[in-house]
Every structure is written in C-alpha cells, then in structure tokens.
Structure 1
C-alpha cells in the first residue's frame, strides 16, 4: 500500500510537543511512550538498513519500524505474521461473528480503569458464550473462540467492545463427536445479552468490593458502595448490545476478516484528510445513517484529536487478542487435531520447504523497479548513518 500523504506520525511530530506541554501531568507514561514510538517510526532515530536489488542496480535506505502495537504503520506486517500462524487452526465449519458492547455508563468507568474493566469484558463475554453453548437445551457442547478488543468508534470516541469469532460447533462432555450448531444460526442473541449483563455486573461489583476501581471527576461519589449500587441499578434492566452477524462464507473469509480486525488501531493513516495547528480533519462512518453514503469528514481541534487517539492506548502488557475454550492456547493444537478427526477433515497442507526460500536478509517486498528480490547489504543502528556509496553504474542496454 502506498504511503499516505498525511500520517498520525506527522501530527505527533509537528504538534505533539505543544500537546505534552499543555497537558503536563495528565498524559500517562504509556501514552508518552506511544507518542515517542510513533514519532520515531521509520526515521533515522531507530536505525535501518540499505537494500540492493539482486537483478538491477536499484538501492534504497529503509529505516526501522517502531513495532508499537498502536502505530498505524506497523500493523500490516504484524497482522500478516499473526494470520500465517492462525491459518493452520481453521476448521472446515461455519464461523460466526459475535459482538459484545459495553453501555456508555460503564465505558465512563472503564476509561480510568482500563486493565480491570477490559479484562472483565473479555472474561464476561467468553464466559457467556461458553455457558450458553454448554447448556444441554442449546448446543450442549464446549466451544472455542478468538476475542479481539476494540475501544474506539469511527469518530475516535471511547466505545469498548469485543469482536468474537466462534466456530459453529463444539465437543460434548464425552468428547466423542462434533456437535454442530444449526445451519446459519449460532445462539440466541437475547439470551447471550442477558447472561452477559449479569456476569459483567456481578464482576464489576466484585472489582468495586475489592478496591480495584478508581473514580475521578463527577464519578468520585461512586467510590461509596451504595452510590455505586444505585448507579448500576438502571443498567440491570436495560438491554445490553450483543449482536451476531451472518456466518462467514468459509475459512478464507474468516482469515480475511481477522486480518482486518486483529491488528487494527484507532485510526488508519488513510482516513486522515488534513492537519494544522488548529484542526485535524479525518473521514469517519456515521452508522446512524441507514441508507446512502455514511462517510463524512470530521474536524477536531488538534489537541482534541491527539487526546482521542491516546485515549485508546492500552495498559502495558495487556493482551488485546485472546483465545478461549477449545482454542485456548494450552490445548489448541490437540483440540483442533481431535476435531479434524471427528469431522473427517484433513489438516491444511504445509508449504514445502525449499532451497529457493528467501534468505533471512532478503526483504519481503520486491524491487520497486524490476520486481526482483531486495537483499540487505548493510545495517546501521540508531544514531548511525549508512556508509557513503558511489552511484550504481547503469547496465548496458
């Protein structure tokens, strides 16, 4: 994909210092680290390498990526590597996409308690699906799932929700057969929503009781147990948003979907329109419009844009992709192999190894001039510069 004309890194480099100074004491260390990483990404500050084409005379300098999971430029390669590792786990069965969303009242609390609330969101949503699926009146089987946390809406607002990909079936308690769900139907959404609401509220009260929640601003009064219970009371009666999309057409569609969602960040560089010291403009999708063109352009104060972006920085070490049930990391390989035997499916073919495989110092991207392999001929560390070279000689025609 060609480089975007405007990037989040450009905004941080030009206006990040002023934002830091104006908000001193209100920007967390994790957020400062993300800003610094994005600012330095693919610049001489991180070092790099010189690559030369093995077929023509083309050479170029490429600077290292920051590899920060919040950086819009670094997620493409990370997603490709992750998807390559997950491809062998796919089963030839229907897959379903289920989304669990937190009410706005809970999202306000989550903004200051990310690790506790986001962790509870993972546990409650996974527990909901596994409990309902295991009910003998429903499917009566142990299922598996991959859950991905997103914390943003299209306008960069705070909107925590879980995207869950679930194979349409599972193993009964005796584990002797594969129990498939009804074609095109996984589980009742309303049943999922009500159990999710109960599990999450119970978990939230437990967090409050053990002193794991902090409250600020107009929410400070919620530190009192009675005030907190009163705040949650209306949420016990409202319908929480849980919805399931139609099943994917096949495993390849699951891979394509996951590649778009697993390593997505709050906003991609391609959505940016313009930026100056006063305003940042970007494209966003208005989901309130049911028909017609949903895409609009939003203009935010530059500092407000940076604030909204940093609002989605996750706590250090917090995993935003998690696997549960049959797909839990400890037993995933064993369970998948067992299911394949039960449904009579063969394991996916492994790509044969070859002596022609690219060497470790050969880049994945081909030469922009002739399409040949690009080989690294020099590496340099941060603070260093590549050795000067004479211009390559032109090849005789």
Structure 2
C-alpha cells in the first residue's frame, strides 16, 4: 500500500460526509482506496511445484493513482523518445496569475483551452518571424495545475525544438543563444489570453463567482494587462529527453508522489516540498516540510483531478500526431531514420526494466507462477468476501 492510498483509506470516508464533490473526484477517491485490494478482485498465482502461492489483486488504472501510473508513464516516454528530434530543445513555462484562480475553478475546461491556444499562438507566431527562426517548430505542452504545496497554480510546461521546417520544406536551426525575447513573449501571451477571456466574459460564456458582475471581471483583466506575468525560458538543452522525463512525472499519478509523504498520524499529513522563492547555498530551491490536516490534504489532492477525457498533454507543429509526414521529412533532412513503431510494454517488462526481480517467479524454485482461480470484485463495503490465505507450502 502506498502513502496516498493509506490517507484515503483512513480519512476519506469522514471527509466525504462533510464535502460536496463532483462525480469524477468521488470516483477517483474510491478507486485510489480500492486499488490492488480485494474490492477490485484478482486471481491466485501458484507455483506448479506447489512451493508457493499468492493473491494478485487488480489495479484501478486511474490516472491519479500513484500505484498505477508507472507503466503508463513509461509507455508515454518511450513513444516520445522515438519521436524526438536529436537537436537542441528549449523548455518554456507559462503561468497565469493567481488572481484568476477563482474563475479557473468555475471554468477549468474553457480556461485551460484558451491557455493552450494562447501559448501555441504566442510561440509559433514569434518563431515564424524570420527575425527569430522563420520556420515551424515542434512542441509538446503539458498542463499542471498544482504547486509544490498542492495549492492551485495553473501553468504549462513546453518542450520546443530549437529549429523548424520552413515553408519550402527545408530544415532551419535556430542560430541564436535564446529562443525568443522573454519579455516580448510574455507580453504577447498575456495579451492573447486576456483578450480571449474578456471576449468570453463579455458574451456571458463563462461562469462568474456568486455576486461578481461583468464589470468586476473587466476591471480585473484591465489591471492584469499591466502586470508582468510569469513566463520563463530555460537554457538550451542539447536534447529534449531530459525535459520529456521531467514532464512525464506529471501526466499521470496525481499531484504528489508517495515518496514525498513523511508521516501520517493523528489526522495530519506531513510531506516534503521545495520552496522556489527561497534558495540554499547552492542556489537551489530550499527543501522544506509542510503539515496539513488530513481533510485539507485530501481537499488539495482532489482539486487537481481532471475530468475524464481532459487533455493535459497537447502536441503542436511537427510534433503533432497529424504531422507524421512532416516529422519524418525533418528526420530525413537531419539524417535520421523514420519514426519507429514501438510495441506496448507489459507490466512484467516494466518491472524487469526497473531492475526488479521477475514478478511472476516462484521465490523458492524460480519457476514461473501459473494462474489459478479468480477472485470476484465487489463494490459495496457491506458485501462479504471470502479471501484466500496465501502462504508458502510446507
């Protein structure tokens, strides 16, 4: 059992009694609680020589479950690795101001949509300009809605090629030490996002907090138009794999990993986090701990559960799924073979890749375990389930 599952198993039942939750959040909580337990059923695996047997319970496979995310992340990473061009890439981060958080919570789907669109239009508009690149790059963008302490902090990470395909289908490298001027990019992004949000508000197509009038939104956006927004362009990377690995940690598995949980006791959760506003002697984000009531921890965790079907990763330019022909053209121009088709990773292969002992071998004789009887799943806490005692044979 992981720490996150332990928190939900111990404290979620009481939390649910006093909080109104959307269906997708309740579903996530219940699946995390039941993952790899008798509630989801499973099967018995046994050694053919009768040395050993065990119960293997089913996984919930929810995108926010820390126990189920490993293999899905690895599959995504493998797919991206074979598609990434072996050229310089840049890592760019866009953040919307916290003054928009209240509107975001009421309009998450539409505000995230214009977030992605504003990022794409801002970057591609500048890079199509001959003064900067004069070509169409490739970009992978991922939406993350949380900060280190799990508060609401919507931002988008972008991995973007340091080069692109021209209109005459020639490859053109970026010869500058920077991607585009950061201040200019910020101003364009800020303008595009505010313009789109203002149009929607004017047409009454977004939900407003109770008691808030259109003129208040108008005034808020007017003030934000004069503020600096947080847009960062990181240093040039000789290859994009490092950034892809970083992004992969956030596409599945929830907003916090089990290894960051220090303790769970007396109705409180203590976890590790990094404070990016403070740095240590090596100029790295200072490491701290935070204590939250279990109720508050669950509240923050569920805040970042996306609705089913929500796209938190999007692909643009030559990295778009519809641009496979253009991507292979770029690979040809760079002297690299076409994109390979990768086979689906089995969970057994995933475990072996991590260096773990084969998960289906008898710990006594090494023979592969065979599947025996199945265990039916159940969904009501009041239901009785007969479990099978697992032990080594004498």
Shorter-chain TM range is 0.7 to 0.9
Q: Deviation string for 1:310-364 (max 9, x for gaps)?
A: 1111123111111112212222x2121100111222346778x9xxx99x79674
Paired with 1:361 and 1:386, the residues of 2 have a C-alpha distance of: 24
What residue is the counterpart of 2:117 in the other structure?
Answer: 123
TM-score by length of 2: 0.86
Q: Deviation string for 1:245-292 (max 9, x for gaps)?
A: 112243543443343343352111111122235322111111111224
Superposed counterparts of 1:321-336, under 5 Å: 321-331=313-323, 333-336=324-327
What residue is the counterpart of 2:381 in the other structure?
Answer: none
SS at match of 2:208: coil
What residue is the counterpart of 1:239 in the other structure?
Answer: 228
Q: Deviation string for 1:180-214 (max 9, x for gaps)?
A: 11264222211111110011001101221333321
How far 1:167 sits from its partner (Å)?
1.4
What residue is the counterpart of 1:344 in the other structure?
Answer: 335
SS at match of 1:111: helix
SS at match of 1:115: helix
Return 249-258 or 30-39, whichever deviates more: 249-258
Return 360-369 or 30-39, whichever deviates more: 360-369
Return 251-260 or 132-141, whichever deviates more: 251-260
- Equivalent residues, number: 376
Structure 2: runs of 5 or more not aligned: 352-357, 379-384
Q: Is the 8 A contact 1:146 1:323 kept in 2?
A: yes
Paired with 1:290 and 1:251, the residues of 2 have a C-alpha distance of: 26
Cα distance, 1:372–1:361 mapped onto 2, change above 3 Å: farther
Cα distance, 1:281–1:343 mapped onto 2, change above 3 Å: same
What residue is the counterpart of 1:206 in the other structure?
Answer: 199
TM-score by length of 1: 0.86
Paired with 1:112 and 1:171, the residues of 2 have a C-alpha distance of: 39
What residue is the counterpart of 1:196 in the other structure?
Answer: 189
SS at match of 2:279: coil
Aligned Cα root-mean-square deviation (Å): 2.9
How far 1:387 sits from its partner (Å)?
6.6
Q: Is the 8 A contact 1:363 1:374 kept in 2?
A: no
Cα distance, 1:296–1:316 mapped onto 2, change above 3 Å: same
Paired with 1:301 and 1:364, the residues of 2 have a C-alpha distance of: 35
What residue is the counterpart of 1:27 in the other structure?
Answer: 21
What residue is the counterpart of 2:312 in the other structure?
Answer: 320
How far 1:85 sits from its partner (Å)?
1.9
Paired with 1:242 and 1:30, the residues of 2 have a C-alpha distance of: 31
Q: Are 2:276 and 1:287 equivalent residues in the alignment? A: yes
Return 49-58 or 281-290, whichever deviates more: 49-58
SS at match of 1:246: strand
SS at match of 2:122: helix
What residue is the counterpart of 2:292 in the other structure?
Answer: 300
What residue is the counterpart of 1:11 in the other structure?
Answer: 7
SS at match of 1:201: helix
Paired with 2:390 and 2:272, the residues of 1 have a C-alpha distance of: 43
How far 1:158 sits from its partner (Å)?
0.4
Structure 1: runs of 5 or more not aligned: none
- Select which of 373, 377, 388 maps to 2:371: 377
What residue is the counterpart of 1:185 in the other structure?
Answer: 178
Q: Is the 8 A contact 2:55 2:390 kept in 1?
A: no
Paired with 1:73 and 1:235, the residues of 2 have a C-alpha distance of: 40
What residue is the counterpart of 2:65 in the other structure?
Answer: 71
Paired with 2:70 and 2:207, the residues of 1 have a C-alpha distance of: 35
Paired with 1:286 and 1:152, the residues of 2 have a C-alpha distance of: 13
Q: Deviation string for 1:206-248 (max 9, x for gaps)?
A: 221333321225xx32x42x22211111111111111111122
Paired with 2:202 and 2:145, the residues of 1 have a C-alpha distance of: 25
What residue is the counterpart of 2:81 in the other structure?
Answer: 87
Cα distance, 1:96–1:381 mapped onto 2, change above 3 Å: farther
